[in-house]
A = this chain, B = another copy of it.
């Protein structure tokens, strides 16, 4: 699939994506509410991005990247391929060397920090937990961008936090301190915090890390619900390609800091991609819920 590069990219980036998407959605389940969307979902777009860290060179280069409004876009790629770096740049945590990131057409760097945080939430790949903070208090921190300097908690904050705890499935852990949780429980607490932030766009870097199967599915179901029922725009990094294929509307495969391919999962996920990008020999079957990847062995 490596020959499908420059021209394909051209074709896909010049605005043709939306129509393409509409077609795609047909062969994806969970779309029942899709048509009820209010149409106000936000779109995140990056153009001509060159991203690096202070002491490193350019690590990610990307002519055009779109996280379409109201959909789930999964970023996949091997370790070190630049997924986190890309997400950091999209969420303004990292200032790209060149290029712009636009949220609904506005440069994210021109937005106020709080304004942006009300619109875009980021779950980092690794989070350091202050040991003696309770899960509930952590979730309340997610409400920070919604409160004015002198305001105290409102009923709205309260509701948002309750809902986030519920969605992340940590209601029963609300009074536990982060330090006395298992790795997976802690991860769920962080997810609750981002959900409480109640943004239009969510960027989740490996949210299923540390989670057991059930919680992985739960989190992904929640993500799906949010996108399709509440019109959230979601970017998500996943290592499990089957899961990515099953839940995402679009898939972006990164290799060595560059997008290798993107499009609907059914198109992108092929044995060739797995060999080329991931270096894995695998069979790709079609299950009831999209492509199913059965890995054989590393190449």
* A interface residue numbers (CB < 8 A to B): 53, 55-56, 77-81, 84-85, 125-126, 180-185, 188, 206, 209-218, 221, 239-241, 274, 278-280, 282, 287, 292-295, 297-299
Contact = CB atoms under 8 A, between A and B. Distances in A.
A218 to B, nearest CB: 5
A239 B212 contact: yes
Contact of A280 (B77, B210, B214, B294): B214
A79 B278 contact: no
B188 A79 contact: yes
Q: SS class of chain A's interface: helix, strand, loop or mixed?
A: mixed
Given A294-B287, A294-B292, A182 B80 contact: yes
Contacts of A53: 180
Given A79-B188, A209-B209, A214 B183 contact: no
Given A56-B180, A180-B56, A298 B221 contact: yes
B279 A214 contact: yes
Nearest to A205: B183
A204 B172 CA distance: 29
Identify the interface centre among A81, A184, A206, A216: most chain B CB within 10 Å of its CB: A184
